[in-house]
Structure 1
Amino acid sequence: MHLAALLSIASFASIQAFDFYVLSQTFQPYFCTTGNFAGCNNPTDFMKTNLTIHGLWPNNNDGSYPSFCSDETLSQSTIDQVGMDVINTYWPDVKTNYGTTFISNEWSKHGTCSDMAQLDYVNAAISLETQLGTPDIISSNVGSSAVGSQIRAGYGGANMVALVCGSNGALSEVRTCYENTGSGPGNRITCPQTILNEDSCAKKAGKKITIYSFNDN
Protein backbone atom coordinates (compact mmCIF):
# COMPACT_ATOMS: atom_id res chain seq x y z
CA MET A 1 0.00 0.00 0.00
CA HIS A 2 1.27 3.47 -0.88
CA LEU A 3 2.49 5.74 1.93
CA ALA A 4 -0.18 8.35 1.13
CA ALA A 5 -2.93 5.76 1.58
CA LEU A 6 -1.46 4.57 4.87
CA LEU A 7 -1.26 8.12 6.16
CA SER A 8 -4.86 8.72 5.09
CA ILE A 9 -6.04 5.63 7.00
CA ALA A 10 -4.03 6.59 10.07
CA SER A 11 -5.39 10.12 9.97
CA PHE A 12 -8.97 8.87 9.64
CA ALA A 13 -8.52 6.49 12.57
CA SER A 14 -7.09 9.19 14.81
CA ILE A 15 -9.86 11.61 13.91
CA GLN A 16 -12.63 9.11 14.59
CA ALA A 17 -11.26 7.74 17.88
CA PHE A 18 -12.92 9.12 21.02
CA ASP A 19 -14.18 7.77 24.33
CA PHE A 20 -17.78 8.88 24.81
CA TYR A 21 -20.50 11.32 23.76
CA VAL A 22 -21.85 14.33 25.63
CA LEU A 23 -25.41 15.50 25.06
CA SER A 24 -25.33 19.20 25.85
CA GLN A 25 -28.72 20.86 26.33
CA THR A 26 -29.58 24.53 26.65
CA PHE A 27 -32.27 26.17 28.75
CA GLN A 28 -33.47 28.79 26.31
CA PRO A 29 -35.21 31.14 28.82
CA TYR A 30 -31.76 31.79 30.30
CA PHE A 31 -29.93 31.87 26.96
CA CYS A 32 -32.36 34.52 25.74
CA THR A 33 -31.16 36.89 28.49
CA THR A 34 -27.64 36.84 27.05
CA GLY A 35 -28.43 38.70 23.80
CA ASN A 36 -31.07 40.29 21.61
CA PHE A 37 -32.05 37.23 19.57
CA ALA A 38 -35.03 37.38 17.21
CA GLY A 39 -36.25 33.87 18.02
CA CYS A 40 -36.58 34.72 21.70
CA ASN A 41 -39.52 36.96 20.87
CA ASN A 42 -41.63 33.99 19.80
CA PRO A 43 -40.50 30.98 21.85
CA THR A 44 -42.05 27.61 21.16
CA ASP A 45 -44.24 26.15 23.89
CA PHE A 46 -41.74 23.30 24.29
CA MET A 47 -38.76 25.51 25.06
CA LYS A 48 -40.66 27.42 27.73
CA THR A 49 -40.35 24.50 30.14
CA ASN A 50 -37.92 22.07 28.49
CA LEU A 51 -34.24 22.00 27.70
CA THR A 52 -33.36 21.83 24.02
CA ILE A 53 -30.32 20.48 22.19
CA HIS A 54 -27.09 22.42 22.08
CA GLY A 55 -25.18 19.55 20.53
CA LEU A 56 -24.03 15.94 20.62
CA TRP A 57 -20.29 16.05 21.22
CA PRO A 58 -17.63 13.33 20.85
CA ASN A 59 -15.32 13.61 23.89
CA ASN A 60 -12.27 11.98 25.41
CA ASN A 61 -11.75 11.05 29.04
CA ASP A 62 -8.80 13.44 29.31
CA GLY A 63 -10.98 16.41 28.41
CA SER A 64 -9.90 16.72 24.79
CA TYR A 65 -12.28 16.30 21.87
CA PRO A 66 -12.08 16.01 18.10
CA SER A 67 -13.58 18.80 16.03
CA PHE A 68 -14.07 19.79 12.39
CA CYS A 69 -13.10 16.35 11.13
CA SER A 70 -14.20 17.00 7.54
CA ASP A 71 -15.55 19.82 5.39
CA GLU A 72 -18.86 18.00 4.76
CA THR A 73 -21.74 20.43 5.25
CA LEU A 74 -25.19 19.56 6.57
CA SER A 75 -27.35 18.97 3.52
CA GLN A 76 -30.78 20.32 2.76
CA SER A 77 -31.83 16.70 2.21
CA THR A 78 -31.02 15.85 5.83
CA ILE A 79 -32.89 18.93 7.06
CA ASP A 80 -35.89 18.00 4.93
CA GLN A 81 -35.89 14.39 6.14
CA VAL A 82 -35.80 15.45 9.79
CA GLY A 83 -38.27 18.28 9.24
CA MET A 84 -38.09 21.89 10.37
CA ASP A 85 -40.94 21.41 12.84
CA VAL A 86 -38.86 18.78 14.65
CA ILE A 87 -35.68 20.86 14.47
CA ASN A 88 -37.45 23.98 15.72
CA THR A 89 -38.85 22.02 18.66
CA TYR A 90 -35.81 20.07 19.81
CA TRP A 91 -32.83 21.92 18.26
CA PRO A 92 -34.03 25.51 17.80
CA ASP A 93 -31.85 28.31 16.48
CA VAL A 94 -33.15 31.37 18.29
CA LYS A 95 -30.26 33.51 17.07
CA THR A 96 -31.46 33.32 13.47
CA ASN A 97 -35.19 33.13 14.26
CA TYR A 98 -35.46 29.37 13.70
CA GLY A 99 -33.10 28.95 10.79
CA THR A 100 -30.57 26.15 10.30
CA THR A 101 -27.28 27.91 11.05
CA PHE A 102 -27.01 26.50 14.57
CA ILE A 103 -27.63 22.84 13.75
CA SER A 104 -25.39 23.16 10.67
CA ASN A 105 -22.54 24.57 12.78
CA GLU A 106 -22.93 21.77 15.32
CA TRP A 107 -22.71 19.21 12.56
CA SER A 108 -19.58 20.84 11.13
CA LYS A 109 -17.77 21.09 14.46
CA HIS A 110 -18.92 17.92 16.23
CA GLY A 111 -21.04 15.78 13.93
CA THR A 112 -18.26 15.29 11.39
CA CYS A 113 -16.27 13.57 14.17
CA SER A 114 -19.15 11.44 15.45
CA ASP A 115 -18.67 8.21 13.45
CA MET A 116 -22.18 8.76 12.07
CA ALA A 117 -23.68 9.89 8.80
CA GLN A 118 -25.32 13.28 9.16
CA LEU A 119 -28.93 12.05 9.24
CA ASP A 120 -27.99 9.45 11.85
CA TYR A 121 -26.20 12.11 13.89
CA VAL A 122 -29.15 14.49 13.93
CA ASN A 123 -31.63 11.71 14.68
CA ALA A 124 -29.40 10.33 17.46
CA ALA A 125 -29.24 13.72 19.18
CA ILE A 126 -33.00 14.16 18.94
CA SER A 127 -33.59 10.62 20.20
CA LEU A 128 -31.39 11.22 23.26
CA GLU A 129 -33.16 14.53 23.87
CA THR A 130 -36.59 12.91 23.86
CA GLN A 131 -35.49 9.89 25.90
CA LEU A 132 -33.84 11.98 28.60
CA GLY A 133 -36.54 14.60 28.75
CA THR A 134 -36.52 17.44 31.28
CA PRO A 135 -37.00 16.46 34.92
CA ASP A 136 -40.15 17.77 36.55
CA ILE A 137 -38.01 19.47 39.19
CA ILE A 138 -36.97 21.90 36.42
CA SER A 139 -40.21 22.18 34.43
CA SER A 140 -42.39 22.73 37.50
CA ASN A 141 -40.13 25.47 38.88
CA VAL A 142 -39.76 27.67 35.81
CA GLY A 143 -39.76 31.27 36.99
CA SER A 144 -38.63 30.21 40.44
CA SER A 145 -35.79 28.06 41.80
CA ALA A 146 -35.01 24.51 42.88
CA VAL A 147 -32.45 22.90 45.16
CA GLY A 148 -29.39 21.91 43.16
CA SER A 149 -29.07 18.47 44.73
CA GLN A 150 -32.68 17.73 43.80
CA ILE A 151 -32.06 18.71 40.18
CA ARG A 152 -29.01 16.43 40.08
CA ALA A 153 -31.08 13.64 41.65
CA GLY A 154 -33.57 14.12 38.83
CA TYR A 155 -30.76 13.15 36.45
CA GLY A 156 -29.69 10.12 38.47
CA GLY A 157 -27.20 11.71 40.82
CA ALA A 158 -24.30 14.14 40.94
CA ASN A 159 -21.98 11.81 38.99
CA MET A 160 -24.44 11.54 36.10
CA VAL A 161 -24.78 15.17 35.09
CA ALA A 162 -23.02 18.51 34.91
CA LEU A 163 -25.24 21.54 35.52
CA VAL A 164 -23.86 24.72 33.99
CA CYS A 165 -25.00 28.04 35.42
CA GLY A 166 -24.55 31.61 34.31
CA SER A 167 -22.69 34.17 36.37
CA ASN A 168 -25.89 34.93 38.27
CA GLY A 169 -26.41 31.31 39.30
CA ALA A 170 -29.24 30.61 36.85
CA LEU A 171 -29.44 27.28 35.00
CA SER A 172 -27.93 27.61 31.54
CA GLU A 173 -27.01 24.11 30.29
CA VAL A 174 -27.16 20.44 31.24
CA ARG A 175 -24.58 17.87 30.10
CA THR A 176 -25.04 14.09 30.23
CA CYS A 177 -22.77 11.31 28.98
CA TYR A 178 -23.23 8.25 26.75
CA GLU A 179 -21.05 5.35 25.71
CA ASN A 180 -19.45 5.28 22.29
CA THR A 181 -20.58 2.08 20.62
CA GLY A 182 -18.44 2.68 17.54
CA SER A 183 -21.48 3.56 15.48
CA GLY A 184 -23.23 6.09 17.67
CA PRO A 185 -24.22 6.77 21.28
CA GLY A 186 -25.24 3.84 23.47
CA ASN A 187 -26.30 3.63 27.08
CA ARG A 188 -26.06 6.58 29.41
CA ILE A 189 -22.95 6.40 31.59
CA THR A 190 -21.39 8.06 34.60
CA CYS A 191 -19.72 11.24 33.37
CA PRO A 192 -15.92 11.37 33.55
CA GLN A 193 -14.48 13.89 35.98
CA THR A 194 -13.52 16.21 33.13
CA ILE A 195 -17.23 16.72 32.41
CA LEU A 196 -18.26 16.84 36.06
CA ASN A 197 -15.71 19.62 36.53
CA GLU A 198 -17.83 21.73 34.17
CA ASP A 199 -20.62 21.77 36.78
CA SER A 200 -20.72 25.42 37.84
CA CYS A 201 -24.05 25.50 39.69
CA ALA A 202 -24.51 25.73 43.46
CA LYS A 203 -23.43 22.54 45.23
CA LYS A 204 -23.80 23.44 48.90
CA ALA A 205 -26.50 21.49 50.75
CA GLY A 206 -29.89 23.16 50.30
CA LYS A 207 -28.52 25.76 47.88
CA LYS A 208 -31.02 26.67 45.16
CA ILE A 209 -30.52 27.23 41.44
CA THR A 210 -32.57 29.89 39.66
CA ILE A 211 -34.69 28.62 36.76
CA TYR A 212 -35.60 31.48 34.45
CA SER A 213 -38.82 31.91 32.52
CA PHE A 214 -39.25 33.97 29.38
CA ASN A 215 -40.94 36.57 31.58
CA ASP A 216 -37.48 37.26 33.01
CA ASN A 217 -36.18 38.38 29.61
Structure 2
Amino acid sequence: MNEDASPQHISREGYTRGSRQANTLRARACVDAEMRSRITWMLLGAIVATVVVVATSTFHHPRRKEEVQLPTQPQVTEDLEQNDTIDNVDFDLKVEFDLYVLGMIYAPEFCFQNRFNDYPGCSHPEEFWRTHMTIGGLFPYFEDGYYAEYCEGNETLEPSAIHTIKPQLERYWPNIGTRDHMSLWQTHWQQHGICSNLTQLKYFEAALNVMIVTPNLIRTRYGTSFERQELDRAFNNKALLVCSHRQWLKEVQFCMGRTPEGAPTDIIDCPDAIKENDNCVGMIQLATFP
Protein backbone atom coordinates (compact mmCIF):
# COMPACT_ATOMS: atom_id res chain seq x y z
CA MET A 1 0.00 0.00 0.00
CA ASN A 2 1.29 3.39 -0.99
CA GLU A 3 2.11 5.39 2.11
CA ASP A 4 1.12 8.60 0.33
CA ALA A 5 -2.43 7.26 -0.01
CA SER A 6 -2.69 6.45 3.66
CA PRO A 7 -5.19 8.64 5.47
CA GLN A 8 -2.74 8.75 8.35
CA HIS A 9 -0.11 10.39 6.22
CA ILE A 10 -0.24 14.15 5.89
CA SER A 11 2.49 16.05 4.15
CA ARG A 12 4.18 19.02 5.82
CA GLU A 13 2.40 21.28 3.33
CA GLY A 14 -0.96 19.67 4.01
CA TYR A 15 -0.42 19.80 7.76
CA THR A 16 0.41 23.48 7.60
CA ARG A 17 -2.56 24.22 5.40
CA GLY A 18 -4.90 22.28 7.70
CA SER A 19 -3.50 23.93 10.77
CA ARG A 20 -4.06 27.34 9.27
CA GLN A 21 -7.68 26.49 8.48
CA ALA A 22 -8.25 25.15 11.98
CA ASN A 23 -6.64 28.17 13.53
CA THR A 24 -8.79 30.44 11.39
CA LEU A 25 -11.95 28.66 12.49
CA ARG A 26 -10.90 28.80 16.12
CA ALA A 27 -10.07 32.51 15.82
CA ARG A 28 -13.49 33.23 14.30
CA ALA A 29 -15.16 31.28 17.08
CA CYS A 30 -13.23 33.23 19.70
CA VAL A 31 -14.19 36.53 18.08
CA ASP A 32 -17.85 35.51 17.96
CA ALA A 33 -17.74 34.43 21.60
CA GLU A 34 -16.08 37.66 22.63
CA MET A 35 -18.67 39.74 20.75
CA ARG A 36 -21.51 37.83 22.39
CA SER A 37 -19.88 38.36 25.78
CA ARG A 38 -19.48 42.10 25.20
CA ILE A 39 -23.06 42.49 24.04
CA THR A 40 -24.28 40.57 27.09
CA TRP A 41 -22.30 42.80 29.47
CA MET A 42 -23.52 45.94 27.68
CA LEU A 43 -27.13 44.84 28.15
CA LEU A 44 -26.53 43.99 31.81
CA GLY A 45 -24.86 47.37 32.36
CA ALA A 46 -27.82 49.20 30.86
CA ILE A 47 -30.23 47.28 33.09
CA VAL A 48 -28.17 47.98 36.22
CA ALA A 49 -27.89 51.69 35.37
CA THR A 50 -31.66 51.90 34.96
CA VAL A 51 -32.23 50.22 38.33
CA VAL A 52 -29.77 52.59 40.04
CA VAL A 53 -31.46 55.67 38.57
CA VAL A 54 -34.89 54.49 39.68
CA ALA A 55 -33.66 53.58 43.16
CA THR A 56 -31.89 56.90 43.60
CA SER A 57 -34.94 58.89 42.54
CA THR A 58 -37.22 57.12 45.02
CA PHE A 59 -34.92 56.97 48.09
CA HIS A 60 -35.25 59.82 50.60
CA HIS A 61 -32.34 60.46 52.94
CA PRO A 62 -33.41 61.16 56.52
CA ARG A 63 -32.92 64.72 57.68
CA ARG A 64 -30.08 65.01 60.17
CA LYS A 65 -30.73 66.59 63.56
CA GLU A 66 -28.61 69.66 62.86
CA GLU A 67 -29.99 70.36 59.40
CA VAL A 68 -32.36 73.33 59.27
CA GLN A 69 -34.23 74.65 56.27
CA LEU A 70 -33.25 78.31 56.27
CA PRO A 71 -34.92 81.14 54.39
CA THR A 72 -33.50 81.71 50.93
CA GLN A 73 -32.86 85.07 49.34
CA PRO A 74 -36.06 86.31 47.67
CA GLN A 75 -35.99 86.54 43.92
CA VAL A 76 -35.78 90.06 42.51
CA THR A 77 -38.54 90.52 39.95
CA GLU A 78 -39.93 93.28 37.79
CA ASP A 79 -42.21 94.26 40.69
CA LEU A 80 -39.45 96.49 42.11
CA GLU A 81 -39.94 100.21 42.07
CA GLN A 82 -38.36 101.93 39.11
CA ASN A 83 -35.75 103.60 41.34
CA ASP A 84 -34.93 100.43 43.28
CA THR A 85 -31.64 98.69 42.70
CA ILE A 86 -30.15 95.48 44.01
CA ASP A 87 -28.05 97.54 46.43
CA ASN A 88 -30.96 99.21 48.22
CA VAL A 89 -33.33 96.24 48.37
CA ASP A 90 -33.54 95.00 51.97
CA PHE A 91 -33.35 91.20 51.90
CA ASP A 92 -34.61 89.83 55.21
CA LEU A 93 -32.61 86.64 55.76
CA LYS A 94 -33.03 86.54 59.54
CA VAL A 95 -33.98 83.25 61.14
CA GLU A 96 -37.01 83.38 63.42
CA PHE A 97 -35.84 80.81 65.94
CA ASP A 98 -37.83 80.15 69.12
CA LEU A 99 -35.39 80.06 72.02
CA TYR A 100 -31.78 79.67 73.10
CA VAL A 101 -30.01 76.74 74.68
CA LEU A 102 -27.05 77.68 76.85
CA GLY A 103 -24.51 74.90 77.34
CA MET A 104 -22.14 74.86 80.33
CA ILE A 105 -19.43 72.19 80.12
CA TYR A 106 -17.43 70.44 82.82
CA ALA A 107 -13.80 70.66 81.71
CA PRO A 108 -12.41 67.59 83.53
CA GLU A 109 -14.86 65.31 81.71
CA PHE A 110 -14.04 66.96 78.37
CA CYS A 111 -10.36 66.27 78.97
CA PHE A 112 -11.00 62.69 80.02
CA GLN A 113 -12.96 62.05 76.83
CA ASN A 114 -10.04 63.55 74.85
CA ARG A 115 -7.24 62.11 76.98
CA PHE A 116 -5.41 60.65 73.97
CA ASN A 117 -5.24 63.96 72.07
CA ASP A 118 -2.46 65.48 74.19
CA TYR A 119 -4.27 68.80 74.58
CA PRO A 120 -2.11 71.39 76.40
CA GLY A 121 -5.16 72.76 78.18
CA CYS A 122 -5.84 69.33 79.66
CA SER A 123 -2.28 68.51 80.68
CA HIS A 124 -1.89 71.94 82.31
CA PRO A 125 -5.45 73.09 83.12
CA GLU A 126 -6.41 76.34 84.74
CA GLU A 127 -7.25 75.97 88.41
CA PHE A 128 -10.56 77.70 87.69
CA TRP A 129 -11.62 74.76 85.51
CA ARG A 130 -11.41 72.32 88.41
CA THR A 131 -14.18 74.03 90.31
CA HIS A 132 -16.24 75.93 87.72
CA MET A 133 -18.15 75.03 84.61
CA THR A 134 -17.41 77.10 81.51
CA ILE A 135 -19.52 78.17 78.54
CA GLY A 136 -19.87 75.55 75.85
CA GLY A 137 -22.08 77.56 73.53
CA LEU A 138 -25.17 79.73 73.12
CA PHE A 139 -27.34 78.04 70.50
CA PRO A 140 -30.45 79.41 68.71
CA TYR A 141 -33.02 76.60 68.75
CA PHE A 142 -36.43 75.75 67.39
CA GLU A 143 -39.09 74.18 69.59
CA ASP A 144 -39.00 70.95 67.61
CA GLY A 145 -35.44 70.28 68.77
CA TYR A 146 -33.61 71.50 65.68
CA TYR A 147 -31.02 74.24 65.94
CA ALA A 148 -30.10 76.98 63.50
CA GLU A 149 -26.65 77.13 61.94
CA TYR A 150 -24.73 78.84 59.10
CA CYS A 151 -27.54 81.29 58.50
CA GLU A 152 -26.28 84.39 56.67
CA GLY A 153 -23.16 83.54 54.78
CA ASN A 154 -19.68 83.11 56.17
CA GLU A 155 -19.04 86.29 58.14
CA THR A 156 -15.66 86.22 59.86
CA LEU A 157 -15.41 87.14 63.52
CA GLU A 158 -13.41 90.35 63.88
CA PRO A 159 -11.08 90.26 66.92
CA SER A 160 -11.52 94.01 67.31
CA ALA A 161 -15.28 93.54 67.73
CA ILE A 162 -14.85 91.61 71.00
CA HIS A 163 -11.61 93.19 72.17
CA THR A 164 -13.22 94.82 75.20
CA ILE A 165 -14.56 91.53 76.59
CA LYS A 166 -11.71 89.25 75.56
CA PRO A 167 -10.39 88.74 79.14
CA GLN A 168 -13.83 87.62 80.34
CA LEU A 169 -14.26 85.30 77.36
CA GLU A 170 -10.87 83.70 77.98
CA ARG A 171 -11.91 82.93 81.54
CA TYR A 172 -15.53 81.89 81.06
CA TRP A 173 -15.60 80.65 77.44
CA PRO A 174 -12.13 79.16 76.90
CA ASN A 175 -10.82 76.73 74.35
CA ILE A 176 -9.95 74.09 76.92
CA GLY A 177 -8.12 71.82 74.52
CA THR A 178 -5.75 73.93 72.45
CA ARG A 179 -6.09 77.29 74.24
CA ASP A 180 -6.56 78.88 70.81
CA HIS A 181 -9.56 80.80 72.08
CA MET A 182 -10.15 82.94 69.00
CA SER A 183 -10.54 79.91 66.73
CA LEU A 184 -13.19 78.51 69.08
CA TRP A 185 -15.12 81.78 69.16
CA GLN A 186 -14.82 82.09 65.40
CA THR A 187 -16.33 78.64 64.93
CA HIS A 188 -19.24 79.38 67.26
CA TRP A 189 -19.90 82.73 65.62
CA GLN A 190 -19.96 81.38 62.08
CA GLN A 191 -21.97 78.30 62.96
CA HIS A 192 -24.49 79.66 65.46
CA GLY A 193 -23.86 83.29 66.42
CA ILE A 194 -24.79 84.64 63.00
CA CYS A 195 -28.22 83.03 63.42
CA SER A 196 -28.89 85.07 66.57
CA ASN A 197 -29.49 88.29 64.57
CA LEU A 198 -27.18 90.04 67.05
CA THR A 199 -23.93 91.83 66.35
CA GLN A 200 -20.71 90.02 67.14
CA LEU A 201 -20.16 91.98 70.36
CA LYS A 202 -23.77 91.64 71.55
CA TYR A 203 -23.81 87.89 70.92
CA PHE A 204 -20.73 87.21 73.05
CA GLU A 205 -21.82 89.73 75.68
CA ALA A 206 -25.15 87.93 75.86
CA ALA A 207 -23.42 84.61 76.54
CA LEU A 208 -21.46 86.16 79.39
CA ASN A 209 -24.57 87.83 80.82
CA VAL A 210 -26.69 84.66 80.93
CA MET A 211 -23.87 82.35 82.04
CA ILE A 212 -24.96 80.21 84.99
CA VAL A 213 -23.01 80.39 88.22
CA THR A 214 -21.53 77.01 89.16
CA PRO A 215 -23.28 75.73 92.32
CA ASN A 216 -21.30 74.79 95.43
CA LEU A 217 -22.24 71.15 94.93
CA ILE A 218 -19.90 71.03 91.92
CA ARG A 219 -17.32 73.49 93.21
CA THR A 220 -16.67 71.52 96.38
CA ARG A 221 -17.06 67.92 95.15
CA TYR A 222 -14.25 67.63 92.58
CA GLY A 223 -13.64 63.97 91.80
CA THR A 224 -16.55 62.68 93.90
CA SER A 225 -20.17 61.68 93.26
CA PHE A 226 -23.67 62.62 94.41
CA GLU A 227 -27.30 61.80 93.71
CA ARG A 228 -28.85 63.32 90.62
CA GLN A 229 -31.61 64.89 92.72
CA GLU A 230 -29.00 66.97 94.54
CA LEU A 231 -27.83 68.57 91.30
CA ASP A 232 -31.41 69.08 90.12
CA ARG A 233 -32.12 71.06 93.28
CA ALA A 234 -28.90 73.05 92.91
CA PHE A 235 -30.14 74.25 89.51
CA ASN A 236 -33.74 74.81 90.70
CA ASN A 237 -34.92 71.89 88.54
CA LYS A 238 -34.40 74.00 85.41
CA ALA A 239 -31.33 72.25 83.98
CA LEU A 240 -30.87 69.41 81.53
CA LEU A 241 -28.06 67.15 82.71
CA VAL A 242 -25.95 65.56 79.98
CA CYS A 243 -23.61 62.73 80.97
CA SER A 244 -21.09 60.43 79.37
CA HIS A 245 -22.29 56.85 79.78
CA ARG A 246 -25.31 58.31 81.63
CA GLN A 247 -23.19 58.86 84.74
CA TRP A 248 -20.20 61.19 84.23
CA LEU A 249 -21.31 64.83 84.14
CA LYS A 250 -20.33 66.39 80.83
CA GLU A 251 -22.63 69.36 80.27
CA VAL A 252 -25.53 71.24 81.81
CA GLN A 253 -28.02 72.90 79.46
CA PHE A 254 -30.58 75.65 80.05
CA CYS A 255 -33.39 76.84 77.80
CA MET A 256 -33.88 80.60 77.57
CA GLY A 257 -36.40 82.83 75.90
CA ARG A 258 -35.52 85.50 73.37
CA THR A 259 -36.47 89.08 72.66
CA PRO A 260 -37.84 90.18 69.27
CA GLU A 261 -34.35 91.54 68.55
CA GLY A 262 -32.77 88.15 69.23
CA ALA A 263 -31.24 88.60 72.69
CA PRO A 264 -31.61 85.80 75.26
CA THR A 265 -33.87 86.38 78.28
CA ASP A 266 -34.71 84.36 81.41
CA ILE A 267 -34.55 80.60 81.88
CA ILE A 268 -37.69 78.82 80.68
CA ASP A 269 -38.93 75.24 80.67
CA CYS A 270 -37.41 73.34 77.77
CA PRO A 271 -39.70 71.96 75.05
CA ASP A 272 -40.11 68.19 75.14
CA ALA A 273 -37.98 67.72 72.02
CA ILE A 274 -35.02 69.41 73.71
CA LYS A 275 -35.55 67.62 77.02
CA GLU A 276 -34.42 64.49 75.21
CA ASN A 277 -30.84 65.77 75.63
CA ASP A 278 -31.08 64.95 79.35
CA ASN A 279 -29.64 61.49 79.99
CA CYS A 280 -28.05 61.36 83.47
CA VAL A 281 -29.45 58.74 85.86
CA GLY A 282 -28.79 57.71 89.45
CA MET A 283 -25.44 58.69 90.91
CA ILE A 284 -23.56 61.40 89.04
CA GLN A 285 -19.77 61.26 88.94
CA LEU A 286 -17.42 64.25 88.65
CA ALA A 287 -14.29 63.39 86.68
CA THR A 288 -10.79 64.64 87.44
CA PHE A 289 -8.23 65.92 84.97
CA PRO A 290 -6.17 63.05 83.51
Normalised by the size of structure 2, how large is the TM-score?
Answer: 0.65
1:212 — aligned with what?
287
Q: Distance in 2 between matches of 1:94 and 1:39?
A: 5
Task: Say yes or no: does 1:127 pair with 2:206.
Answer: no
SS in 2 for 1:48: helix
2:83 — aligned with what?
none
Contact 2:227 2:284 in 1 (8 A): yes
2:225 — aligned with what?
145
Paired residue total = 202
1:154 — aligned with what?
234
Superposed, 1:57-68 pairs within 5 Å as 57-68=139-150
SS in 2 for 1:82: helix
Deviation string 1:181-205 (CA, Å, 9 cap, x unpaired) is 1220011111111221111111xxx
Task: Give the counterpart of 2:250 among 164, 172, 176.
Answer: 172
Larger Rg over CA atoms: 2
Q: Distance in 1 between matches of 2:254 and 2:265?
A: 12
Contact 2:246 2:279 in 1 (8 A): no
Contact 1:146 1:210 in 2 (8 A): yes
Q: Which moved more, 1:45-54 or 1:34-43?
A: 34-43
Superposed, 1:1-217 pairs within 5 Å as 3-4=75-76, 12-13=93-94, 16-35=95-114, 36=117, 37-70=119-152, 71-83=154-166, 85-129=167-211, 132-157=212-237, 160-167=238-245, 169-183=247-261, 184-202=263-281, 207-214=282-289, 217=290
Instruction: In structure 2, give the amino acid aligned to 1:209.
Output: I
Higher strand share: 1
Contact 1:164 1:200 in 2 (8 A): yes
Offset of 1:122 from its aligned partner?
0.4
For residues 156 and 9 of structure 1, do their structure 2 counterparts lie closer, same or farther at Cα, with a shift above 3 Å needed? farther
Q: Which moved more, 1:172-181 or 1:132-141?
A: 132-141
Contact 2:101 2:140 in 1 (8 A): yes
Unaligned stretches of 5+ residues in structure 2: 1-73, 81-88
Instruction: In structure 2, give the amino acid aligned to 1:164.
Output: V
Contact 2:162 2:200 in 1 (8 A): no
Q: Distance in 1 between matches of 2:122 and 2:149?
A: 29
Deviation string 1:62-113 (CA, Å, 9 cap, x unpaired) is 1112111121111111232212x32221011022224311111111111000
Contact 2:98 2:141 in 1 (8 A): yes
Deviation string 1:131-188 (CA, Å, 9 cap, x unpaired) is x20111121211101111110111111xx21111012620000100110112200111
Q: Distance in 2 between matches of 1:115 and 1:99?
A: 23
Contact 2:249 2:284 in 1 (8 A): yes
Normalised by the size of structure 1, how large is the TM-score?
Answer: 0.86
Contact 2:134 2:173 in 1 (8 A): yes
For residues 176 and 3 of structure 1, do their structure 2 counterparts lie closer, same or farther at Cα, with a shift above 3 Å needed? same
2:36 — aligned with what?
none
For residues 96 and 4 of structure 1, do their structure 2 counterparts lie closer, same or farther at Cα, with a shift above 3 Å needed? farther
